[in-house]
Structure 1
Amino acid sequence: MIRAVVLDIGETITRDDRYWASWADWLDIPRHTVSALVGAVVSQSRDNADALRLIRPGIDIAAEYEAREAAGRGEHLNESDLYPDVRPALASLQALGIRVVIAGNQTVKAGQMLRGLDLPVDLIATSDEWGTAKPDPEFFARVLDAAGALAYETVYVGDHPANDIFPARQAGLRTAHLRRGPWGYLWADAPEVIEAADWRIDSLTGVATAIAP
């Protein structure tokens, strides 16, 4: 029986449109250029931040992040950044008596903003708050602590095979691969993803349907 569901954040709970558009505006280049470069590095299985490094070689991303915050052009997240299936899906899981956790590779500020949206979840945590990031096994050890359930009773839901599905599976969790966002669409039918994912879904509402007893 599944007792806990833990969900990734970027391109699972939230859309990345605003994030990449804000970087394009900050670097003063067309937004479609950033989108195209993100797609290019994703297709090469590279870190998505490499898109920014292609635009400005040698960029100190952490320093630029701080500069953006200081200029009032930093991270922002509100209801419009949520995918429309998020609230009904989370509520459906809680109605089943499932413990619901959101945990992904995000900043402390992102965690604060997500908690400010009053989502129907039991806990929200980010990699910066935990001091460990996916795909590190320590991150998934923290996931299990947050889930309060055994690994085989816990499902990790995410779009990114290398950051979500493979390491979660290695940690003994059940996995649901979400066909959403660049990573989710690109690798949806990859044999290794099909093998690693217990469920393959097109919407978060599919999670409750998949795990319902």
Structure 2
Amino acid sequence: MRSAYSIVSLIAALLAFAAGTSRAYPVAAVLGAVAVGCAVWGLVLVSRKTHSGRGLAIWGLIIGGFMLLAGLGGVTSAAPEAATAAPATATTATASPATRAWTLPAQNPLPPAAPIVVQAKKFGDEYEANQIAAEHKWAGQFVQFTAPVGNINSSGVSFTDVTSSFSFTQISCRVKDETQLIPLAKGKPATVRGVVGEDQLMGVISINDCEVVG
């Protein structure tokens, strides 16, 4: 009989991966911990030869452990950013108009009027082959691509079929106007454009300030 712990471990690991790609790091860490715990019990039962499901437990342990570490890392990195952002906001609010003119942070330059049109799979293959080189090449670039929709949520839209061979690499687009997501459907192609983020986490290529254009 297949171990229920092994099955729950893999399910929790996959849910943790989905939470991580949506940047819900605390949820990813909790689900990763659940996956690891269930995987350990599943392997114990398999070792006693009372249940099967060794493969499911191993995958749950690998993915769950990875997502546990990645989730904890995401929570840790997000905390300093929130802490440093608060004083800047308070300073701007209390300063006089003349002072604010000198203390406002420099704004990022506007992207060029025409985006760089890229093929989604070639774009994804570059990150799959060498993430560091791809980040140096594409970070801050205004790009446009078309790909089948993988997932739609309040944060935006993600695309999973973005490499020539099977991988967990995906493109995650944070839209400026979520009403643009209403016409989209999972599995249907969509054309978006936005600014490529500087750092990629857990195989997710981030595109910021996205617009759905087709």
- After TM superposition, the score normalised by the length of structure 2 is 0.26
**Bigger relative CO (Cα 8 Å, ≥ 6 apart):** 1
Structure number with greater Rg is 2
The structure that is strand-richer by fraction is 2
- After TM superposition, the score normalised by the length of structure 1 is 0.26
